[in-house]
A = this chain, B = another copy of it.
Amino acid sequence: MVRKSASGRIGIADVAVKAGVSHATVSRVMNGNFTVDPDIAARVRAAAAELKYQPNPVGRSLALGKTDTIGIVVPDLANPTFQAILRGLSRAAAQDGYRVLIADSFEVSSEESILAGEARRRCDGLVLCAPRMSDAELEEIAPSLRPLVLINRTTAAAEVPSLVVDYGQGVQDIAEHLVELGHTRLAFLAGPPRSASNGMRLQGLETFKAAHPQVEVTMLEGGSDFDTGHEAVDAVLESGATGILAFNDLVAMGLMSGLHERGLDVPGDISVTGFDDIPFAKYTTPALTTAAVPITELGEQAWHQLRALIRNEESAAPGSSRYQPRLEVRASTGPEKAPRSTVHG
């Protein structure tokens, strides 16, 4: 009969009794401390095996002051970008024996810092993914969240590395590509207003406009999902633009679908571009021209940065790094046809 120590599960005490030693010795054996007589160690191991003893991680965490768990806060778990980051992070962390706790803020920026704090206290470190909170708030809470790694966001707070994708450059590359194809009237379908990556894209477009004064760039309201793109068809057509830069691949796909329903040809009538190069982008018809972001790798790198912080708080803070998107020209962009209207304005 297996003794149960008060609670329902087998504890270190049960093993100690069965092996006829103190629980301190059991602990030593379980943790590979070699100051234990091999015979006794064997006896303890046998007892542990027979009882199927597994140390309670909560007790362990309390004693050790670490949980072997990291947290990640994302604004929207439905977004493929964040899913990919999560996947990369989880995979990399698992290889080092760490688990990941997820927190979805559902784009409610006011919840973010609370969520982050709660997650952080249960973990050894935190990855904050494209937080929607203000710069001021971020800078204020960042220190209490360390070890902390930021993704697609930066902060002035010390010891907080951040990994950011250069969306501004990516958007410029795409716009250049469209211009080279002869397009002179572009439209940008924007993303969520609070998204920093949307801000970076807007900045990139400003730079582009400065360099290409002859190109007309219309800004359209948007979002980050299929429906946004699908619903934007009218606005896009009204703009008269022939080259559309969608916030991301999802929006681009929704838009293409909508254009298709209107009987318009992509890229014959209108060229459409996305951003991110999600796995689906290759398989749309026509295949989507987009800017590829090594997004899973981003999650992986986030772990490496976090690991460095966790392992050695003194270590030279690993600098923040910047990822350059790579233009992927596919079939959804083509040369501008004869303009539908000769003059405008």
How many chain A residues touch B (Cβ–Cβ < 8 Å)?
46
> Using Cβ atoms and an 8 Å threshold, which residues of chain B touch A290?
none
A257/B283 in contact, CB under 8 A:
yes
Please report whether the interface of chain A is mostly helix, strand, loop or mixed according to DSSP: helix
Q: Does A91 count as interface, using CB distance less than 8 angstroms?
A: yes
Inter-chain pairs besides A94-B104, A99-B102, A284-B285, 6 sampled, C-beta below 8 Å = A62-B62, A99-B122, A226-B280, A257-B282, A257-B285, A280-B280
Q: Does A42 count as interface, using CB distance less than 8 angstroms?
A: no
> Using Cβ atoms and an 8 Å threshold, which residues of chain B touch A56?
121
A62-104 vs B, CB cutoff 8 Å, 1 = contact: the mask equals 1001010100000001100001001100110010000111111
Return the contact of A59 from the options B62, B83, B86, B280 (Cβ within 8 A): B62
A95-118 vs B, CB cutoff 8 Å, 1 = contact: the mask equals 000011111101000000000011
Q: Does A54 count as interface, using CB distance less than 8 angstroms?
A: yes
Nearest CB on B from A201, distance (A): 22
A62 to B78 CA separation, bound complex (whole angstroms) = 33
Nearest CB on B from A279, distance (A): 6
Return the contact of A121 from the options B54, B117, B283 (Cβ within 8 A): B54
- Chain A contacts to B: CB under 8 angstroms: 7, 54, 56-59, 61-62, 65, 67, 69, 77-78, 83, 86-87, 90-91, 94, 99-104, 106, 117-119, 121-122, 225-226, 230, 253-254, 256-257, 260, 279-280, 282-285, 287
A86/B90 in contact, CB under 8 A:
no
A260 to B284 CA separation, bound complex (whole angstroms) = 10
Return the contact of A230 from the options B117, B254, B256, B283 (Cβ within 8 A): B283
A78 to B86 CA separation, bound complex (whole angstroms) = 10
Tell me the nearest residue of chain B to A111, going by C-beta: B94
> Using Cβ atoms and an 8 Å threshold, which residues of chain B touch A62?
58-59, 62
B69/A58 in contact, CB under 8 A:
no
Assess A78 versus B69: contact at CB under 8 Å? Given A100-B101, A102-B102: no
